């Protein structure tokens, strides 16, 4: 197992924190397969000492972890330039983006994919799908496991012709950005799907949504966005950019930031994990670890709980004190979801580096799903955390695998699973949780905070009401 030295905590307006000496018993526990929660990336190297950083006022102090490429990319035009940029865009050949394409433009614009500065050109795309990484001109390697590309069809390609720049518009026709010094190259969908998902089986949600009907060409170039991308859905205040998140962590005086990615409602097992992680970080010597609760806000499959419902449920979890609002930052991660397992979880981790997180929590089957045509998991549930421990370009991120949490029928609460008394534990999957909510059946006491559970029940009740009304309004068939 690869071991990577824990990055020492830095908080510039406090004295340096002591580093705890590893003991043989501690080292043994980290290597033992039953001690999976809070296993940091430790690298056994004799690297040169890191020079001490000068103390700085909190407002300008250095981040806990450098973004990929050394600086955050910001592709949004400054206000003074926007009128001229819009006038330029009006005169260019125009491509209309699908909703998923807009989400990727948002990801690029705010620097989540730093140092990438636009939709991938061919040399970047090939590095991504073959190596899960990009090599920078300096020779450094950064992780990039998902292709961030824009597809065009034959008519689009002909209309662009030899134009060096194109304008990008949203689904409603409003101008969003200019793509400069464009390069058009073939879109081999089968290869892309096979290399991203490890299968070409029918029924992959993102493939059905964004690839199958997409054009046979990809267009790459440097992106310049007219203005910050907004969705006007009442949730934009949750959509903090990587720079805004870094500023918030500095404001709170964080000396460690641990990120938790999710696309489901928060139950008490999740909360157990997050609270236990913070406790362990305090034991390691950190003084103020901050949780980044970071639900995915882009495309998700049809049976996932919609983002507005999830955000309301998350707010109840904080209101009820299941998670501490003083040590938790809730924000929306704008990326679409691929359900590509170990390949995708690298992207999720890499993006959180750019947001300023130096610890990343990973659990069972991250970014996974059931096989679309067979009754089995699409990916080995343990491979996600194993891949993260070896992934190129993620060495500076501390990966925190954790033990599985389940409902303890004896203690009547969510607890870490104990194999020695497996008969006492009940596993409540996302599917089972949704079934409970749909049927009005309550989960066991202690599974989820009551106000959070009510949000889910109300959502599924509203769906049933809408379905009944639609059925009643439908014309009778003879």
Cβ-contact 220, 118 below 8 angstroms: yes
Among 75, 198, 67, 197, residue whose Cα is nearest residue 142: 67
Cβ-contact 56, 62 below 8 angstroms: yes
Tokens standing for 204? 């992959």
Looking at residue 476, its pLDDT comes to 66
Query: Mean per-residue pLDDT for 404-431?
Result: 92
Lowest mean pLDDT among 7-11, 194-198, 457-461: 7-11
Q: Dump pLDDT digits (tens) for 284-308.
A: 999 999 999 999 999 999 999 999 9
Percent of the chain with pLDDT over 90: 79
Whether 60 has a pLDDT exceeding 50, the answer reads: no
In this structure, the strands spanning 151-152 and 166-169 are: unpaired
Gap between the Cα atoms of 393 and 219, Å rounded: 26
Looking at residue 41, its pLDDT comes to 44
Band of residue 56 on the pLDDT scale cut at 50, 70, 90: very low
pTM of the model: 0.86
Looking at residue 477, its pLDDT comes to 62
Looking at residue 206, its pLDDT comes to 98
Query: Mean per-residue pLDDT for 54-58?
Result: 33
Cβ-contact 428, 443 below 8 angstroms: yes
Q: How far apart are the first and last CA of the chain?
A: 67
Instruction: Tell me the average pLDDT of the chain.
Output: 88
Gap between the Cα atoms of 191 and 207, Å rounded: 12
The DSSP output letter for 69 is T
Lowest mean pLDDT among 4-13, 56-65, 267-276, 350-359: 4-13
Count helices and strands in the chain by DSSP H and E runs: 14, 15
Looking at residue 470, its pLDDT comes to 82
Among 68, 83, 176, 182, residue whose Cα is nearest residue 116: 68
Whether 438 has a pLDDT exceeding 90, the answer reads: no
Helix (H) or strand (E) holding 168: strand 166-169
Band of residue 62 on the pLDDT scale cut at 50, 70, 90: very low
Band of residue 202 on the pLDDT scale cut at 50, 70, 90: very high
Band of residue 429 on the pLDDT scale cut at 50, 70, 90: confident
**For the chain, what's the residue count?**
478
Query: Mean per-residue pLDDT for 202-216?
Result: 98
Taking each helix axis from N to C end, the angle separating 450-473 and 307-319, rounded to the nearest 10 degrees, works out to 150
Whether 47 has a pLDDT exceeding 70, the answer reads: no
Query: Mean per-residue pLDDT for 211-235?
Result: 98
Q: Dump pLDDT digits (tens) for 72-114.
A: 999 999 999 999 999 999 999 999 999 999 999 999 999 999 9
Looking at residue 63, its pLDDT comes to 60
Band of residue 232 on the pLDDT scale cut at 50, 70, 90: very high
Q: What are phi and psi of 66, to 5 degrees?
A: -75, 145
Whether 323 has a pLDDT exceeding 50, the answer reads: yes
Q: What are phi and psi of 304, to 5 degrees?
A: -75, 150
């Amino acid at each position: 197992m690869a071991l990577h030295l824990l990055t020492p905590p830095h908080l510039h307006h406090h004295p340096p924190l002591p580093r705890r000496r590893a003991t043989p018993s501690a080292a043994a526990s980290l290597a033992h397969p039953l001690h999976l929660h809070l296993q940091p990336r430790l690298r056994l190297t004799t690297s040169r000492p890191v020079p001490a950083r000068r103390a700085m006022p909190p407002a300008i102090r250095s981040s806990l972890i450098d973004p990929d490429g050394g600086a955050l990319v910001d592709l949004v035009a400054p206000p003074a330039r926007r009128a001229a940029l819009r006038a330029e865009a009006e005169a260019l050949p125009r491509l209309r983006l699908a909703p998923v394409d807009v989400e990727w433009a948002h990801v690029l614009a705010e620097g989540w994919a730093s140092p990438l500065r636009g939709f991938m050109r061919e040399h970047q795309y090939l590095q991504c799908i073959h190596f899960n990484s990009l090599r920078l001109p300096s020779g450094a390697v950064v992780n990039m496991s998902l292709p961030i590309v824009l597809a065009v069809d034959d008519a689009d390609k002909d209309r662009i012709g030899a134009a060096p720049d194109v304008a990008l518009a949203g689904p409603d026709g409003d101008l969003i950005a200019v793509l400069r010094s464009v390069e058009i190259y073939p879109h081999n969908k089968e290869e892309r799907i096979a290399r991203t998902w490890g299968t070409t089986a029918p029924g992959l949600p993102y493939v059905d949504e964004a690839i199958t009907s997409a054009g046979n060409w990809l267009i790459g170039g440097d992106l310049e966005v007219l203005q910050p991308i907004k969705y006007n859905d009442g949730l934009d205040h949750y959509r903090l950019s990587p720079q805004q998140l870094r500023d918030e962590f500095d404001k709170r005086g964080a000396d460690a930031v641990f990120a938790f990615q999710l696309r489901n409602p928060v139950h008490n097992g999740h909360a157990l994990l997050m609270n236990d992680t913070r406790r362990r970080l305090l034991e390691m010597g950190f003084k103020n670890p901050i949780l980044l609760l970071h639900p995915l806000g882009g495309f998700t499959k049809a049976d996932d709980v919609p983002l507005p419902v999830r955000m309301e449920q998350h707010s109840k979890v904080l209101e009820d004190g299941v998670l501490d609002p003083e040590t938790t930052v809730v924000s929306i991660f704008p990326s679409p979801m691929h359900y590509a397992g170990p390949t995708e979880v690298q992207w999720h981790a890499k993006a959180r580096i750019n947001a300023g997180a130096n610890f990343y929590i990973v659990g069972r089957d991250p970014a996974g799903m059931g096989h679309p045509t067979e009754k089995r998991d699409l990916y080995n549930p343990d491979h996600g955390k194993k891949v993260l421990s070896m992934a190129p370009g993620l060495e500076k991120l501390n990966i925190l695998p954790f033990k599985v949490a389940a409902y303890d029928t004896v203690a009547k609460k969510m607890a870490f699973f104990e194999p020695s008394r497996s008969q006492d534990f009940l596993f409540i999957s996302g599917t089972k949780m949704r079934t409970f909510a749909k049927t009005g059946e309550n989960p066991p006491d202690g599974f989820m905070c009551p106000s959070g559970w009510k949000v889910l029940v109300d959502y599924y009740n509203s769906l049933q009401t809408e379905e009944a009304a639609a059925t009643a309004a439908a014309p009778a068939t003879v």
